[in-house]
Amino acid sequence: MVTGASSGIGAAAARLFAAQGANVVLMARREGRLRELAADIGAAGGTAVSVPGDVTESTDVERAVATAVDTFGSLDAAFNNAGWGMMATPLHELADDVYDRIMDVNVRGVWNCLRHQIPVLLSQGRGGAVVNTCSTAGQFATGAVAPYVAAKHAVLGLTRAAAAEYGDRGIRVNAL
């Protein structure tokens, strides 16, 4: 399962996973681009299904996880890559709605993914792997992007907590 799969790192990762033989569930908000990517992966000999949705909506993530299980029989790995940044804006000039969107997509999105992926991985009894996109902003602060830095620090914290909680059950959770 790859979130944020309609472009950039998500699309490139989905192509690579499929080229390596993985069956891929593509999730992102841009339905047309997801369909195109699934078709491209199929034309290259891979297998992918698209699930349009928003990671900030728990039911959308739940549907994508269910699609993986229903279509391919399991969920073995996930790349929680969906994210949303911003133009460099001084903290004191940032609007509430921009702050809220950054936190929702980057933190709530990863939270929603983990809380729907982990129960499936646990129920399968053979572990699995989850990678959350954290960015260097999760470790280093720069000016004029404070909410993004805060969100990525939160993603790193969620990742570390999930790794500590589920690692002994064979579920690896890492940040990229």
Residues acting as catalytic residues? 148
Angstrom distance (rounded) from CA 98 to CA 86? 8
Contact 158, 132 (CB under 8 A): yes
Angstrom distance (rounded) from CA 60 to CA 62? 5
- Give whole-number Cα distances, 173 to 76, 88, 128, 132, 160, in Å: 12, 30, 9, 8, 7
Sign of the C-alpha dihedral computed for residues 34, 35, 38 and 41 taken in this order: negative
Write the DSSP symbol of residue 139: T
Q: What angle do CA 161, 123, 153 make, to 5 degrees?
A: 20
Write the DSSP symbol of residue 4: S
